[in-house]
Chains A and B, each alone.
Chain A
Amino acid sequence: MGSEMASDWIRIIVGLIIVLAFSQLNALFLVWLERKVAGHIQLRYGPMEVGPHGILQTIADGIKLVGKELITPLSADWKLFVIAPVLVFMPVLVAFLVLPFDENLVIRDMNLGVLLIFAFSTLSVLAILAGGWAANNKYALLGAIRSVAQNVAYEIPLLLAVLSVALMTQSLRFSEIVAAQCRVWFIFLQPVAGLIFLICATAETNRAPFDIPEAESELIAGFHTEYSGMRFGLFFLAEYTNMFIVSAVATALFFGGWHGPFGFSFGLPGIVWFLLKVYILLFVIMWVRWTFPRVRFDQLMNFSWKVMLPLSLLNLIVTAAVLKFI
Chain B
Amino acid sequence: MSYWKEIIEGGWSLVEGMRVTVRRLVRPVVTVQYPRKQLTLSPAYRGHIEFKVFPEIGTHRCIACGTCQRTCPSGVIKVQGVKDHARAPKVATHYMIDFTRCSLCGLCVECCPTQTLKYSTEYQLEEESRWDGVYDLMARLEERRT
On A, residues with C-beta under 8 Å from B are 37, 39-45, 48, 287-288, 290-292, 307, 311
Contact = CB atoms under 8 A, between A and B. Distances in A.
Given A41-B24, A43-B24, A48 B33 contact: yes
B14 A44 contact: no
Contacts of A48: 33
B25 A41 contact: yes
B29 A45 contact: yes
Given A42-B24, A43-B31, A292-B14, 15 more contacts: A37-B25, A40-B25, A40-B26, A41-B21, A41-B24, A43-B27, A43-B29, A43-B30, A45-B33, A48-B33, A287-B22, A287-B25, A288-B18, A290-B21, A292-B17
Nearest to A292: B17
Nearest to A40: B25
B29 A287 contact: no
Contacts of A307: 7
Nearest to B33: A48
Contacts of A288: 18
A40 B29 contact: yes
Contacts of A37: 25
Nearest to A288: B18
Secondary structure of the B contact surface, majority rule: helix
Contacts of B25: 37, 40-41, 287
Contact of A287 (B21, B30, B31): B21
A288 B14 CA distance: 9
Given A37-B25, A42-B24, A307-B7, A291 B17 contact: yes
B24 A40 contact: yes
Contacts of A41: 21, 24-25
10 contacts: A40-B24, A41-B21, A41-B24, A42-B24, A43-B29, A287-B25, A288-B18, A290-B21, A291-B18, A311-B7
B101 to A, nearest CB: 32
Interface of B: 7, 14, 17-18, 20-22, 24-27, 29-31, 33
A290 B22 CA distance: 10
A40 B22 CA distance: 9
A287 B24 contact: no
B7 to A, nearest CB: 6
A37 B18 CA distance: 13
B31 A45 contact: yes
A22 to B, nearest CB: 27
Task: Pick the 7 closest A-B CB pairs, nearest first.
Answer: A44-B31, A291-B21, A43-B30, A41-B21, A40-B25, A291-B17, A41-B24
Contacts of B27: 43
Contacts of B30: 43-44
A42 B29 CA distance: 8
A288 B20 CA distance: 11
Nearest to B21: A291
Contacts of A287: 18, 21-22, 25
A40 B21 CA distance: 9
A45 B32 CA distance: 8
Contacts of B22: 287
A40 B7 CA distance: 30
A45 B26 CA distance: 12
A39 B7 CA distance: 31
A291 B14 CA distance: 9
Contacts of A43: 24, 27, 29-31
A281 to B, nearest CB: 14
Contacts of B18: 287-288, 291
Most buried by B among A39, A41, A307: A41
A37 B22 CA distance: 10
A290 B20 CA distance: 11
Residue of A42, A48, A287, A291 with most partner-chain B CB within 10 A: A291
Contacts of A292: 14, 17
A292 B30 CA distance: 22
Nearest to B20: A291
Contacts of B17: 291-292
A42 B21 CA distance: 8
A41 B25 CA distance: 4
Nearest to A37: B25
Nearest to A310: B3
Contacts of A311: 7
